[in-house]
Amino acid sequence: MESISHRRLPAAPWPVREAGPASATSDAPAARLRFASTRGALLLLLTSLAAASGLAASRSQTGPGRNAPPLFDGYRSEGYPAISTPSKTITMAFVHSGTVDRVPVVESQTVAPGDMIAQLDDRVQRMTVQAQRLSAEDTSAVEAARKRADLAHLDLENVKELAAQDAAAPRELSRAEAEAALRDIEVRAASREHEQARLIHDREAVSLGQMTLRSPIHGIVARLTVEAGETIEALQPVAHIVSIDPLWMDVAVPVRLGMLVEPGSVAVIRWRDVPGGVPTEGRAIWVSAVADASSSTLIVRLEVDNPERLPAGLHALVQFPEADEALRRTAP
């Protein structure tokens, strides 16, 4: 029987090195080399991931539908918010108290200059105007005064001829002169009274016209506050008429941009409340001369043609292409 101490062990599937001081010393550089290689690979992998992430972020920011980096604080490449308003808003009221006789329009009705909006009961005023017209057209008092003046001047001439022949006393001449002068004064007084009657007639005619409200603009009746048969006081609002073609917009833009916008500059308007709305153009008609110090903005007023009759009060984003291009050319 073979002794256990001399039994041969099976060979290991991998090389086995004998432990010893020499073996440990010879494997240390290789181990460090393998560690450095692994560490370098990890660093290279992390650097590649970071670069890919940064490239994706950059593409996501500058790709379609994303905003470009701002040129300065407050700059918005997508546009500046604004709300459309009527270009004209007229509040109409009677200057006289009275009873409303007619209201021939309804709310949302389109009106033209001269169209009747409301009318007071004006029967009494019409009779007053008619009476004043008779006085204004009556010239009999002036004609009578002129005839009396003519007679007085004729008597004066006769007295002067008699005085030249020593056939009239000086007192008669003085009396004839005073009578002629008095008749001239009566003519002037009659003429003034006739002119006053004409002016009173014109005043009453104007007052009669003020009892009918007529639209001064092309617009839409936005609101009516009275009905026929209602008694109202003077200056009580009766109707509100607005003009929405064109529309106006007041846009707050950064001062650096607003200083490049001039009256007549073109603006691009994108409606936010109109589904599928096609961008339209507006024109700057006014730029504020005073900036808002708290927000560093200027107000630019736009005029926007509105053939589609869009209602006022819609939200929009406004861009100024010419001013934007000028800013980009001067940007550092």
pLDDT in tens, 198-251: 999 999 999 999 999 999 999 999 999 999 999 999 999 999 999 999 999 999
Q: Are residues 198 and 257 in the same domain?
A: no
254 CB burial (10 A radius; 0-12, 13-18, 19+): buried
Q: Could you tell me the two tokens for 2?
A: 């073979």
pLDDT for 72: 81
Q: Are residues 131 and 192 in the same domain?
A: yes
pLDDT for 65: 39
- Whether the bond into 311 is cis, omega within 30 of 0: no
Give the C-alpha separation, 119 to 115, whole Å.
11
**φ and ψ at 82, to 5 degrees?**
-155, 160
> Is residue 151, in this structure, part of any structural domain at all?
yes
The residue out of 160, 195, 210 marking a domain boundary is 210
Q: Over range 275-301, report the average pLDDT.
A: 94
Percent of the chain with pLDDT over 70: 78
CATH code of the domain in which 274 resides = 2.40.30.170
> Is residue 143, in this structure, part of any structural domain at all?
yes
Q: Are residues 324 and 252 in the same domain?
A: yes
Q: Are residues 315 and 265 in the same domain?
A: yes
DSSP string, 114-141: T-EEEEE--HHHHHHHHHHHHHHH--HH
Q: Which amino acid is at 285?
A: I
Domain count, the chain: 2
pLDDT for 71: 75
Characterise 108 by phi-psi region: left (phi > 0), alpha (psi -120 to 50), beta (else): left
> Is residue 75, in this structure, part of any structural domain at all?
no
The residue out of 162, 195, 210 marking a domain boundary is 210
Q: Is the pTM of this model over 0.95?
A: no
pLDDT for 2: 41
> Is residue 61, in this structure, part of any structural domain at all?
no
Give the C-alpha separation, 226 to 213, whole Å.
12
> Is residue 6, in this structure, part of any structural domain at all?
no
> Is residue 278, in this structure, part of any structural domain at all?
yes
Q: Which domain holds residue 176?
A: 123-210
Percent of the chain with pLDDT over 90: 73
Q: Are residues 200 and 147 in the same domain?
A: yes
Give the C-alpha separation, 108 to 224, whole Å.
10
Q: Are residues 184 and 248 in the same domain?
A: no
